[in-house]
């Protein structure tokens, strides 16, 4: 079992700049040192998260530690919160080839596998499975303490770079 007070320390693969293009800020202190945060562009995600991302030897890793305000009436992390983290992860995993992904989610499927608790470290990993110029397909898994919590897959409709 992982220590819930410490963010996982991925083996970061050096790349030019951030792990991929986009509006990412490197975290230099605290629990998420060495990770990047995408903030200021999606007020809903900013209010739900913060969500973090980095790249290690296995690929893109997204991280989130839900707080008490992310719980549902049963004391578990709210399903909508998990789906918001999955949607964030969908775009980060979609950008795994190094480019920024501008677009919207056109479909997202989620299967809830187990509850997660406030304070647990949630990790999302996955892969970009295909697509072309206008659509991109991604799938992933969110885990808490290495136990599957949510399986997700989706399609992103890409927009031209701004």
Q: Quote the number of domains for the chain.
A: 1
CA separation for the pair 100, 86 (Å, rounded): 17
Q: What is the CATH number of the domain that holds 104?
A: 3.10.129.10
- The neighbouring-strand residues paired with 37 are 25, 52
Assigned domain for 15 exists = no
Per-residue pLDDT at 11 exceeds 60: no
Q: Residue 66: pLDDT above 50?
A: yes
Q: Is residue 13 part of a domain?
A: no
14 part of a folded domain: no
Q: Is 113 helix (H, G, I), strand (E, B) or coil?
A: coil
Residue with tokens 């209010």: 47
pLDDT over 90 (residue 68): yes
Q: Is 150 within a domain?
A: yes
Answer whether residue 12 is part of any domain: no
What pLDDT digit, counting tens, does each position of 69-103 carry? 999 999 999 999 999 999 999 999 988 766 667 78
The range of the structural domain enclosing residue 74 comes to 24-158
Check residue 161 and give its pLDDT.
62
């Amino acid at each position: 079992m992982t220590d819930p007070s410490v963010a996982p320390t991925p083996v970061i693969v050096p790349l030019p700049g951030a792990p991929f293009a986009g509006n990412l800020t490197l975290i230099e202190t605290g629990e998420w040192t060495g990770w990047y945060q995408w903030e200021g562009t999606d007020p809903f995600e900013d209010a739900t998260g913060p969500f973090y991302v980095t790249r290690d030897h296995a690929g893109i890793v997204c991280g989130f530690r839900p707080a008490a305000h992310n719980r549902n009436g049963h004391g578990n992390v709210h399903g909508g919160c998990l789906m918001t983290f999955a949607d964030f992860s969908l775009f980060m995993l979609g950008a795994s080839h190094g480019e920024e992904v501008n677009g919207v989610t056109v479909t997202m499927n989620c299967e809830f596998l187990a509850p997660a608790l406030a304070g647990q470290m949630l990790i999302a990993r996955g892969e970009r499975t295909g697509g072309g110029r206008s659509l991109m397909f991604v799938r992933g898994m969110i885990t808490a303490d290495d136990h599957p919590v949510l399986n997700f897959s989706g399609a992103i409709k890409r927009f031209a770079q701004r």
